[in-house]
Structure 1
Amino acid sequence: MKKFAVLVMMMVVLILPGGVSALDARSGGEVVISSPVYDDLLASGGSITLNAPVDSAILAGGTIEVNAPVRGDLIAAGGTIRLNSDVGGKIVLAGGSVLVNGSVGTNAIATGGEVTLLPGATVTRDALISGGTVKNEGNVEGTLTVDANRFQDEGRAGTTNVHINQNSGALPAIVVTLSLLFAAGMCILGLVLLKTMPARFFSVTREVRKSPVLKTVIGFIGLLIGIVALAILAITVVGLPLAILAGMVLLIAVLLSTLFVAYTLGEVISTRTAPGSAAWQRYLIGFVILYILFYIPFIGPVILVIAVSLGFGAFLYALHDQWSPIIGSPETE
């Protein structure tokens, strides 16, 4: 467990709320926070509205609106995200449309089809923003780094670094929307696997915790060997059907690999935040954090490669060690 914590530290150190001591988890079609939450909030739902102060928040939903102060960090992923109040720490936002209209105590990271810093937005330190269309009407006291197809700057920044892509501005919005839908589907798939095949699921997560660095290396090498082997098979008439079938199996294994890492990440975090939480709660915590990390500009792809390699390596070890059918119930760990 300690070795795994070292590996994932580089994934969560930028966004994990400081001073975490408790966790308030809520979910539903429509989640409304109307009374103060004096600990760390995790909420998921079709729509989430924060109308009362919280210590820190991790939010995932179709529409997210923050209308009350967040004392620590705010992490959110959704179709539309509106930040209308102040955040004492950092913000990490990923959505189809992201609008910031409050004060940010430290750094801001945002990505989406459209990202706008409205006139009421102030970022005390640096802002890193990527999207199809980015607009700055606020104030970034440090460095504003932008990677976008279109950028409109009507605000202020200490230093501005801008990279303009030549692609169509509509493409990123479509990609972000589809990726969010894909993430929602993967989240549901993980919950289904956790419910229907718990022993198989936990057999892999146990491997994730054992020698994670080694499993990451083995997984990465295994993926490379698998891709090369498929390419060799595909160039022969006889091997082409086998290559297609094997490619589908490899793709399934790759897709599932992040789910195992998400659960283990949630377990590591829950050890500090909510030791008595249920398995599905640990999974949701890890999934939301991990998939938001994937959206962070520049370092997101690196984190994705690490997560896929680690999960795939653990899957290979579990397949080797437990080839026979596994029957059992979720373990209390």
Structure 2
Amino acid sequence: MLGKWRTRLVSAIAAAGVVSGAAWAIEMRTEDEVNITGTYDQMVFAAGDTVTLNATATDDVFGAGDDVRATGGSYDHLFMAGGDLSLQDATPHDLFAAGGELDMVSGHVLDDFAAAGGRIKLSRDLRIDGDALIAGGNIDIRSPIGGALRAAGGTIYLNSAVTGDVYLNGRDIQLGPDAHIMGSLTHRGRNVTIDPSAQVDGQTTALEPPPEPDWAPLKKVARFLGWTFMFGMFLAAIVVAWAFPRLMNDSAQIIRDRPLSMLGLGVLIAFLTPAVASVLLFTVFGAPIALILFAALLLLWPIALIAAAYTLGMFGRNRMKPGEPPPSSGARVLWCGLAMLILIVLGMIPVVGQIVWWAAFLFGLAAVVVQAGAALSKQQTAPA
């Protein structure tokens, strides 16, 4: 029976390809809310936010949407795709479903069943006469299956009767007390639990689970990159504070004088620039400008953090040594480096560190952009 699925899927794709040439043979509904009722002897296609199927169809029926429900009726091949899928009191000959959450409450699948999704639940009141092929994150099977069962997922729970052979592949596999496998059982899992009341008439084969991934090399690389990044930011803060003292002093001054304005401007620049660049990227003449905007934002983010660190360093120096003359260039560099170290340490704190770094980036970004704009305007007016 499993071999027939490929032929049926190919047939469905071929049928979809001739829609334009045979529109008269297809019933199509596309609205926000679609209700399919009545009797149909041709293919039915329904798409919308909410799709409800309760019809008698001797041909294939397709339902796609955010919420797709088959609340009754009978179908030849029933295809369901979307976010939340549910089946209740329906009788498809074959059922194919793919979505986020699948809740098969009740009904009768006369032949084969195939499903893929995040969470899949097959209740006791659902009956499958043919084979079942299931793939998902969390799989709960409580309905009787008249053929073979193949399931793969993160968590698999089987607590029903299966006439044919069963193959289970998952991280956690559990057979409940009502599980009765009349064929053989083959399982591959890290944690396999079989209830003493569960029955397996055939042979049970336990395959070797895949080895646990070794994250140690990746952790070493991440640790090395982290230390490299921190040292690079510390070194960059010293170099920028020494090479561009006027830019750092002016940026620190404007952050101290207009903190709220700089914060608002930083938010505007940080979020508006990528949005505008993304729009321009899909235009012929705007694509070069978009690339320049992305490159500028990428270049400005370390300078913005350094400007924020310089402001923090000068603030700390003035607090610790009030009334003293302005610091020398060497002292400014050291205070900036110390402030950058403080930002790096704070950045290691979960949640709080991300908030601190974002705030520092937004303050520094606005100040650097304002000072850069002022410098460009002075250069343009100088010849005049």
TM-score, shorter chain, exceeding 0.5: no
Q: If each structure's strand is expressed as a fraction of its own residues, which one has the higher value? A: 2
Q: Looking at CA atoms only, which structure, 1 or 2, has the larger radius of gyration?
A: 2
Question: TM-score scaled by structure 1?
Answer: 0.44
Question: TM-score scaled by structure 2?
Answer: 0.38
Q: Between the two structures, name the one with larger relative contact order (CA 8 Å, sep ≥ 6).
A: 1
